[in-house]
Structure 1
Amino acid sequence: MPQNALYAQSGGVTAVINASAWGVIEAVRGHPAHFGRIYAARDGILGVLREELIDLDHEDPLTLQALRHTPGGAFGSCRFDLGDPETHPEQYERLVEVFRAHDIGYFFYNGGGGSMDTALKVAKMGDRMGYPITAVGVPKTIDNDLAITDTSPGFGSAAKFIATTVREASLDVESMHTSSTKVFILEVMGRHAGWLAAAAALAQEFDGQPPMLILFAEIPFEEADFMEHLNRTIERHGYCVVVVSEGLKNPDGSLFSVAQSHDVYAYTQLGGAAPRLSELIREKTGHKLHWAVVDYIQRAARHIASKVDVDQAYACGRAAVEGVVAGHHSFMPIIQRDSTQPYRWRMGRTSLESVADIEQGMPREYITPDGYGITQAARDYLRPLIQGEDQPPFERGLPAYPRIRGELLPKRCPSFEVDHD
């Protein structure tokens, strides 16, 4: 008898992660001979440990279809890493207990590199503990730092939002700079990778247009050199737009700014690069300036999603299921670029081992020699990823995003306390 499938979301969500969810759900239901029912864990792997499983049979079919255009994580996400099986065997015993109680034989985990590590641990758990479980990763991250795949679902839409925001904000600054703001700073996400900051350069129609200076996570921040470039830009144009990665590093490798110094699940919260940079510029130049942090907005802006990104996120969800049906396991679907002009792509696969806990930054050849801009090769890579519009339906002037009911399956296992402080 076919076993049931379980889908879960992990890490920071995106504007298109739910499109992957719908891809998985639709594909599983399209293979009734291979799969039984499909459930969703509430709040990622934590929901599995707590036995909080959502019965998708009780959801409105139209609401599930609407996941394709709904941002956020419809089933809840989490930042939680499974411990080492040698030191936390109780976590794995619990997973087996829950899987067995609900006849789950397939686990689809939608997330970034850390989530792929969790999927890999679940896959190895099955072999080690004698429980047959097929674990598959579904890629997602706005940071675009997953290895092997050409791009990460979620990045294209965030990149489109950032480039659009920078273009519009720059027009505002340009119109007022003679008597008001001289410097505008925008802080974008990017823990160890400057892909999102690089995307801001797509706002430029030609060199010299904003953003004029980009501070990448990969390039150490040299204060004197930056101030020289800033002053030169203001002298030439009358103003300067700066885009900074939240993961900007000092020359010694330490973070330029940290929002919270403590770790949460070994995850340091970054942030504060823009206000710290503004203080430095104000102290050194006296110029009037403004700064902004797009924060969650850049990953939630479904109203301006890239159609390419939506299509790829959905395709990754379906490819995860189709790969299982074809007999594969312990893999992650990847996007393979066949050509850039015209842009053509297809789905492939890679092992979970090749992507688990691996972060891929920008190649140095994508960053200009001075460290403050992107090369033509980077533009050629980035531009196809932001193409096309895929707006959600609007009602009374606002995007319509249905919410799932989230009715949980009856619990069959004893309660389990998860230590995540």
Structure 2
Amino acid sequence: MVQKKKRNVIVGQSGGPTAAINSSLAGVYRTAIDRGYQKVYGMIHGVQGLMEGRYVDLSDHIQSGLDIELLKRTPSAYLGSCRYKLPEIFESKEIYEKIFEILVKLEIDCFIYIGGNDSMDTIKKLSDYAIITGSDIRFVGCPKTIDNDLALTDHTPGYGSAAKYIGTSVKEIIRDSWSLETTSGQVIIVEVMGRNAGWLTGATALAKGEDCDGPDAIYLPELPFDMDAFIKKIKSLLKNKASVVVAVSEGIRTKDGKYVSELGNSIEYVDAFGHKQLTGTARYLCEVVSQECGCKTRAIELSTLQRAASHCASRVDILEAYEVGGAAMKAADEGDSGKMVVIERLSDDPYQAGTEVKDVHKIANDERTVPRDWINKDGTYVTNEFITYVRPLIQGDVGPIMVDGIPRHLYRPGFQDLL
């Protein structure tokens, strides 16, 4: 039997950026080249850009081992990202015909998409269309999301670095809060990303240690938020502490399902996937605390800073992201399609993990939340089980390559003009 000659690979990035997403891109690129593919194309702004004919030959931009190392240390999406929702196949067959026409023109054998829940929906639909039309292009998903909410995988690349940054930042916020004495007390509310899953907010507990008490309370979106109980908790804390630091998820909701951020914000933005933009939770809660407790308040939104803080990246996270990218390319090369690479934890101490592939149909449009027994009884903190889970993921550092005192990132003149 004559083995079919390997042709080309295309890779894209989708969803929110992270400190580790480009390490996965580096893993895909390196593995594709090592396995004998002729070209590795990069979609500019994901599948949305691909439909506009926007892509580059990555070999024109990654030309040395140093470029690979720089790429692994470069935050955010090097290729540019998107939040584009493919319609169902029966709704708009023309879009799929257009995408596959481009893939055929570029002689693509393997399509790798790096992203989270919505990105896996794209892999699911494209692989289904390939089956319907008899295309032999393989479609494989590579997990990425700081939200850590993908099903069937122990955790997602990007989460460990975000958790490390959040734990570090909250510890510094707590240290800062000690510096000034106040007569009436002060309450600092830190807002962390997380719409329906509290993995990031729970990571604020990492600030707790021999030299720090950690946040005084943590509120996750997995449980209904009770405003009366919250104010009661704050008043109780202020009786014994001059400064109180509380962490809240941006997605906490009242018992009737209304986002707390909506209570003080009538402006709504909804993306292509129907997700409301959530912001202002901490700000609103500070207003309520100020009125109810008569103390100084401060709202801090970590906002986009927590997504791509490569100066505080976890070595475990960066290495796993690279390995997962390579595993996605390996799976596609060996014939898998309609699959996503997952991380399987083998042990906590010492921490060991491996990769395998799972059916993307069992992952896309699902959401993994923090288990109820990893949250304390009254819903105001995470348990030791949560800490045991997350601590291995933040270990080690990846020092940035510094130039004139500032981290150097991979950049090519002219390439960024395409973004």
Structure 2: gaps of 5 or more residues: none
Map of 1:289 onto structure 2: 297
The aligned counterpart of 2:285 is 277
Question: 1:43 maps to which residue?
Answer: 45
Cα distance in 2, alignment partners of residues 309 and 85 from structure 1: 35
**CA deviation string 1:195-216 (max 9, x = no partner):** 1110001101169923011111
The 8 Å contact of residues 63 and 404 in structure 1, kept in 2 or not, is answered as no
2:344 maps to 1:328:
no
2:178 aligned partner: 174
Alignment partners' CA distance in 2, 1:208 and 1:365 = 25
Task: Please state how far the C-alpha of 1:392 moved relative to its aligned partner.
Answer: 1.0
Report 1:263-274 matches (<5 A): 263-265=270-272, 266-274=274-282
Q: Which consecutive unaligned segments of at least 5 residues does structure 1 have?
A: 409-421
Shift of 1:367: 0.5
CA contact (8 A) 1:158 1:298 kept: yes
SS in 2 for 1:237: coil
Letter in 1 for 2:118: G
Q: Matches of residues 78-97 of structure 1 in structure 2 within 5 Å?
A: 78-97=82-101
TM-score (ref. length: structure 2):
0.94
The Cα shift of 1:405 comes to: 4.7
Stretch of structure 1 that moved more, 18-27 or 86-95: 86-95
Residue-by-residue CA offset, 1:322-348 (whole Å, 9 max, x unaligned): 222333222111111111111111112
Q: CA deviation at 1:237?
A: 2.2
Contact 2:143 2:340 in 1 (8 A): yes
Q: In structure 2, how many angstroms separate the alpha carbons of the residues matched to 1:52 and 1:267?
A: 26
Contact (CA 8 Å) 1:63, 1:403: kept in 2 or not? no
Q: Pick from 52, 55, 64: which aligns with 2:54? A: 52
Structure 2 CA distance for aligned equivalents of residues 264 and 324 of structure 1: 31
Of 28, 33, 56, the match for 1:29: 33
Question: Structure 1 residues 174, 407: closer, same or farther in 2, change over 3 A?
Answer: closer
The share of aligned pairs that are identical, in percent, is 37
Give the equivalent residue in structure 1 for 2:194: 190
Map of 1:157 onto structure 2: 161
- The answer to whether the aligner puts 1:145 opposite 2:156 as a matched pair is no
> Cα deviations across residues 149-202 of structure 1 (Å, max 9, x unaligned)?
111110100000010011111011122243476111111100100111100011
Moved more, 62-71 or 312-321: 62-71
Would the aligned equivalents of 2:206 and 2:214 in 1 still touch at CA under 8 Å? Answer: no
- TM superposition score normalised by structure 1: 0.93
CA separation of 1:290 and 1:195: change in aligned 2, threshold 3 A:
same
Match of 1:413 in 2: none
Query: For residue 23 of structure 2, what is the aligned residue in structure 1?
Result: 19
The equivalent position to 1:341 in structure 2, one of 336, 349, 370, is 349
The aligned counterpart of 1:100 is 104
Task: Find the aligned partners of 1:252 and 1:207 in 2 and give their Cα distance.
Answer: 39
Question: C-alpha offsets along residues 297-342 of structure 1, whole Å, 9 cap, x if unaligned?
Answer: 0011000101111111111001111222333222111111111111
Q: CA deviation at 1:227?
A: 0.9
Cα 1:49–1:161 shift into 2, 3 Å: same
What is the Cα deviation at residue 132 of structure 1? 2.0
Aligned-residue CA RMSD in angstroms? 1.8
Aligned counterparts, 1:129-144, within 5 A:
129-144=133-148
Contact 1:167 1:210 in 2 (8 A): yes
Number of matched residues?
407
1:20 maps to amino acid? S
